[in-house]
Amino acid sequence: MTDAKTQIDQTVKSNDVVLYMKGTKEMPQCGFSSRVAGVLNFMSVDYQDVNVLADEAIRQGVKDYSDWPTVPQLYVKGEFVGGCDIITEMMLSGELDTLFEDNSVAFDKDAANKIREANA
């Protein structure tokens, strides 16, 4: 598990935004991963996607790394942010915008506002 932990640690620290998910950002393999990837894609966030289905050690390792039992998992600037429900709540409340702004992560503010308007 040390190798997986090292790999995860390097990935989250060398990319501003990382999404551990089932599938890829182009082809998510579960609804929860699809929702988070869809939000990031729509907001034009540049992020690294990691398909946990491709490597069982990473799939379990990311859960141990974050002490969070489910996937997807979003990391911003090396810090674990949360899973699908948390990201959805942060998106709708505007907290995700603030998190990106505070960490100098580029995103489309108009797209973020459209998501909120559509869910109001």
Binding site membership: which residues? 30
Distances (CA, A) of 116 to 31, 86, 94: 19, 15, 8
> Which phi and psi (to 5°) does residue 39 adopt?
-65, -50
For residues 71 and 63, the answer to whether their CB atoms sit within 8 Å is yes
Distances (CA, A) of 34 to 30, 31, 51: 6, 5, 12
pLDDT digits (tens, 9 = 90+) for 10-34: 999 999 999 999 999 999 999 999 9
pTM of the model: 0.95
Give me the architecture of the 2-118 domain, per CATH: 3-Layer(aba) Sandwich (3.40)
Binding site membership for [2Fe-2S] cluster: which residues? 30
Q: Which of 46, 87, 63 is nearest to 8 (CA)?
A: 63
pLDDT digits (tens, 9 = 90+) for 19-78: 999 999 999 999 999 999 999 999 999 999 999 999 999 999 999 999 999 999 999 999
Q: What are the sequence ranges of the domains in the chain?
A: 2-118
